[in-house]
Amino acid sequence: MQATIYHNPRCGTSRTILGLLTDAGADVTIIEYLKHPPTVAELSRLYASAGLSPRDGLRTTEPAATALADASDADVLEAMAINPILIQRPLVETDKGVVLARPPERVREIL
């Protein structure tokens, strides 16, 4: 099984998910999204596949998220692409779909 994780190696949850994927025998592609941010189009595709709005994927604990309180979905996506710390992690994609793996057990839905 192929899996892609949008990963932050400093995040405990993200590391846990990576371990779950590895333990499941997945061939994992790791995208360190802070170094290689996804495009607006890629984020839009991921959230649509996960059945989430861009706002659902917004890391609201970040100070920069406050300015997006009344923003449109397009503006939220643009802000995430410019400032990827605003992306809630980890996003995981397999051939069975996409999940925002919070809590970590959610990743089992697509294994």
Catalytic machinery residues: 11
Q: What is the DSSP letter of 62?
A: S
Taking the C-alpha atoms of residue 13 and residue 19, their distance in angstroms, rounded to an integer, is 10
DSSP 3-state percent helix, strand, coil across the chain (nearest 5): 50, 20, 30
